[in-house]
Chain A
Amino acid sequence: MIYLELFYIVSTVLLLLGLRMLSSPSTARKGNIIAAVGMGLAVLISILDPIKNDHGNLLWILGAICLGSLIGLLYAKKVKMTDIPGLVSLFNGFGGACAVFIAIHEVYKFDATQSLGFMGTTYLALFVGGVAFTGSLIAYGKLAGKVRDWRNGISSYFNLFWLVGCISLILFQIYNPSLYPFLPLVILAASLIYGLSFVWPIGGADMPVVIALLNALTGIAAALAGIVYDNMVMLLGGILVGSSGIILTMIMCRAMNRSLLNVIIGGFGSAVHSIAGERRNIEKTSISDVSINMRYANNVMIIPGYGMAVAQAQKACKELDNTLSNKGIHVNYAVHPVAGRMPGHMNVLLAEADVPYSKIKDMEEANAMFSDTDICLIVGANDVVNPSALDDPGSPIFGMPILEVLKSKNIVVLKRSMSTGYSGIENPLFSNKKTKMLFGDAKESIESINKEIKTMD
């Protein structure tokens, strides 16, 4: 029966292989399936593998797996592509919650025989899992529009204080394990609160970083739980997720030219910086004006942002693209690495609308193309095209690489209203001479433009 454990090695290899293949476009889908097989195998072994103090309880396990699979599949089938960031956060939170459930249980099983390191690891799993759990829930709430940002001057001090408090409590507890039997529950509550207070003040524009980071935390919680249960697959799988999540977090930070600490502590959006006087010079335009200009353009660049996701305008963009392309106009899409609310968010939406890879330009490519672009159509993007990042040292986003749309000849901004971006930063692009604003629902606007252009010859 010892052979069963050998199969854990197979499942580890499958996970590694799957993740490797997931990071290359041609093999990604197969990679995901291979990773899923690896997971399934690991679960199967963990059910069949002989262990100490085994009481079976198979019905409980199988019942839970069936229920969980059903809910998971249902969620995955039903979700709209625009809601993916929220769904990923929610799933991630569930993983963290699982770590919390098992860690709190192990903590109450401690007798006098555990080493400090073992107890510390278990409490760390409890803490990290708890932070990932409530942090992900808040991120989900923000993405679903149910939770508003909560910014104030003291949140970063409070967080620092609270973090130190959590660690001190854990240290106190592992040195005096049986002094206060309720203390593990206090630690649990403190961890959950830290997750809330840590994510709550972080602005929507920083969500790609936060989601990647929370993802890494769940992986780390899984790895710590793997040490608690002396289980290799849990350790390796968890660490893989942890390190890949951290890499992705760093890529996102780099795309914003900010340090991780700066994102976590905040500052983005909390700084009040406005150029109120410039607001007046906004020039509005109409559907027919935009349509005529587009009809006689050679090169059009569509720049999607979170607003496209909100308005579900990706398919309308593609239809407009078809109409223009049929008339010999070149249409491309410029995607900023942190556009939207999670890494790669816009790519998923454009893929959903059947936009081919070759038309999607990354920041460097797009910036090289703008000088030949006749019209930039900005669909709900804001901070990623804000020229303050280039020329206003007082701006909170100064130094962040942006899509330099001002190099193009004309700019049309589709926007719901004249409010600031999610991060609350004033955007001087809107009052620029080259820019015209078209207010209204992005999807409806694009559909009207499309209809109008179709009637022209």
Chain B
Amino acid sequence: MELFNFLKDHILFINLLIITVFLGFEIIAKVPSILHTPLMSGSNAISGIVIIGAIILVRQSEPTDYVALSSGFVGIVLATINVVGGHAVTDRMLEMFKKK
């Protein structure tokens, strides 16, 4: 019953989730194989969006709670590497494709 309530409270989220799954399928389904690698590293960079969770964690931590602060800190560093590095390396690859 509790699970049912959770689903009910998040019904909008769940709808969105389903729609986005289909949207993701549609967007990617016909991608040419030449773009598989850039697409993967680009979407990999986007998965670093989890950084927002780490930012919220740090913002909500007591300034003296060093355990929370440092794990949030490490989380942000790692996710930033994922985001910034991912987009940068994707750009480097696509630049090579562009030359011709």
Closest residue of chain A to B18 (Cβ to Cβ) is A239
**A72 and B73 contact, Cβ closer than 8 Å, known pairs A35-B42, A81-B93, A223-B17:** no
Closest residue of chain B to A99 (Cβ to Cβ) is B50
- Selected from B7, B39, B73, B81, the residue in CB contact (under 8 A) with A60 is B73
**A94 and B82 contact, Cβ closer than 8 Å, known pairs A64-B73, A227-B13:** yes
- Contacts of B51-100 to chain A: CB distance below 8 A: 51-63, 68-69, 71-100
With an 8 A cutoff between CB atoms, is A440 at the interface?
Answer: no
- Selected from B38, B58, B81, B96, the residue in CB contact (under 8 A) with A91 is B81
With an 8 A cutoff between CB atoms, is A287 at the interface?
Answer: no
**A322-B83 Cα distance, complex, nearest whole Å:** 38
A404 CB, nearest partner CB in chain B, Å: 18
On chain A, the residues within 8 Å of B53 by CB distance are 98-99, 102, 222, 225-226, 228-229, 231, 234
Q: Which secondary structure dominates where chain A touches chain B?
A: helix
On chain B, the residues within 8 Å of A225 by CB distance are 50, 53
A354 and B99 form a contact (CB under 8 A):
yes
B34 and A25 form a contact (CB under 8 A):
yes
B28 and A244 form a contact (CB under 8 A):
yes
B80 CB, nearest partner CB in chain A, Å: 2
In which size bucket is the chain B interface?
35 or more
A75 and B49 form a contact (CB under 8 A):
no
**0/1 string, A21-40, CB within 8 A of B gives 1:** 01111001101110110010
On chain A, the residues within 8 Å of B27 by CB distance are 16, 19-20, 23, 240, 244
A29 and B98 form a contact (CB under 8 A):
yes
**A343-B50 Cα distance, complex, nearest whole Å:** 24
A43 and B38 form a contact (CB under 8 A):
no
- Selected from B49, B68, B80, B96, the residue in CB contact (under 8 A) with A65 is B80
A92 and B20 form a contact (CB under 8 A):
no
A29 and B79 form a contact (CB under 8 A):
no
A240 CB, nearest partner CB in chain B, Å: 5
On chain A, the residues within 8 Å of B10 by CB distance are 117, 227
**A242-B50 Cα distance, complex, nearest whole Å:** 13
- Selected from B28, B71, B81, B94, the residue in CB contact (under 8 A) with A247 is B28
B89 and A343 form a contact (CB under 8 A):
no
A42 and B82 form a contact (CB under 8 A):
no
**A102 and B45 contact, Cβ closer than 8 Å, known pairs A28-B97, A51-B60:** no
On chain A, the residues within 8 Å of B76 by CB distance are 60-61, 64-65, 68, 98
Give B contacts to A, CB under 8 Å: 2-3, 5-7, 9-10, 13, 16-17, 20-25, 27-63, 68-69, 71-100
Can you sample 15 A-B contacts with CB below 8 Å?
A: A18-B42, A22-B43, A33-B91, A51-B60, A72-B82, A76-B92, A81-B96, A84-B93, A87-B85, A87-B89, A101-B71, A233-B52, A240-B27, A344-B35, A347-B36
